[in-house]
Structure 1
């Protein structure tokens, strides 16, 4: 059985939390961000000041698969609301596309999905907000998009 890669990406045009978490950058292809060298505590402090909610789409089979992540988030980042929705990746990606067609918004800040083909398509359409974390250079190049549009989080 082949390993399944889960990719993490951030979608543009969404929650006000993004402004706090990610430095300003151009979301169009070819205009990648610089590496964000802020500490996690600095990012958290900025997110608290910004307010809002972080919306995450998480590929999975059962809603309870997100419980551990939600519990850990609430313990580590009190005051920053997490809206984590677990569902099968193929349903998340179609919802994202329908939301975008209706409103011009992707409807989420972050998605962790198994449907890898979506990421290149969304990147080509200029719908991903590039981000490079402090450890960007430590991530194998085969596991990340060179422009920072998405990165593998599990193999």
Structure 2
């Protein structure tokens, strides 16, 4: 139960609506627990349904549901930050300004409150320190060319995930396509989804990746570590959220967005919070790292010609994406 009067009022209204449906960008079904656990503990009367799938599939579902006039979704938060200005322009979003929004960088908040950052995700180096000690882990792009890492690297297809694609673009801008050719000579395992490398590393099949997300501060006993480069680029962006105009459960949607931006939820972020007044122990705020560029990623995502051209180049170098959707969600499911 919350002690916040505004959320308590929304909770009472939401309890009468019968549920809440959230589309969350991600690439593993178990990621839904990041969004249901704390919310359900605080608001047990709300039957929350979170579907995790690749953002590039969720956005198409939202558009198709709008065309059909049968929207069943209340809230979306996705990696495809380019979708939100489009949806606002076409009248698909319901403005709402939860408490705490004033603590979010205004550059990542729509002036009308139609959409805004909810938290920060980042992709960088991940290793199992039982296999590769932290002091020996690869951190910079050139480290992945070490002879001892041949046949031991697992990477997400950059042409299957725009955030990874931007990451590759930035690394190549510094080290050139020769670096990519040398990476290919290391015989990396290419996979779909940025959670997949974690499972591959956990199984012992491969040892390192730079295209995955992991907890900044893992629980005690966890040997997996998320390690930032000191010089090279790492990918970070503000995961953006919004309430759909035709949300079937509008009070529950507002309650969810209010909770997501509450200090409690922000402090529990797996990685960086969106609020500037919340700090994660042992880590600087994301805007104090000079080797990442959330604004640059947004510009990249808005330039679809740039994205598609680079995607084609990556496919030519690496080969076509192979494998099933890592979330297991049927593309024809709405």
Does TM-score exceed 0.5, indicating one fold?
A: yes
Deviations 1:20-68 (A, max 9, x none): xxxxxxxxxxxxxxxxx952222212211x3221110000000001124
Is the CA contact 1:38–1:134 (under 8 Å) kept in the aligned structure 2? no
Matches within 5 A, 1:76-115: 76-103=42-69, 105-115=70-80
Matches within 5 A, 1:1-155: 39-48=6-15, 50-103=16-69, 105-155=70-120
- Report how far residue 98 of structure 1 moved: 0.9
Distance in 1 of aligned mates of 2:5 and 2:79:
29
Distance in 2 of aligned mates of 1:106 and 1:90:
18
Which residue pairs with 1:17 in the alignment?
Answer: none
- Report how far residue 118 of structure 1 moved: 0.7
Distance in 2 of aligned mates of 1:111 and 1:59:
8
Distance in 2 of aligned mates of 1:142 and 1:124:
18
Distance in 1 of aligned mates of 2:53 and 2:86:
21
Q: Give the SS at the match of 1:130.
A: coil
Distance in 2 of aligned mates of 1:97 and 1:45:
31
CA RMSD of aligned residues (A): 1.7
Which residue pairs with 1:7 in the alignment?
Answer: none
Distance in 2 of aligned mates of 1:58 and 1:86:
5
Deviations 1:130-150 (A, max 9, x none): 000122323221010000010
Structure 1: gaps spanning 5 or more residues? 1-36
Which residue pairs with 1:4 in the alignment?
Answer: none
Alignment CA distance shift 1:58-1:141 (3 Å): same
* Number of equivalences: 117
Is the CA contact 2:55–2:79 (under 8 Å) kept in the aligned structure 1? yes
Give TM-score scaled by structure 1 length: 0.69
Deviations 1:104-133 (A, max 9, x none): x44311101000111000000011000001
- Report how far residue 86 of structure 1 moved: 0.4
Deviations 1:59-80 (A, max 9, x none): 0000001124223222111111
Alignment CA distance shift 1:72-1:135 (3 Å): closer
Q: Give the SS at the match of 2:95.
A: coil
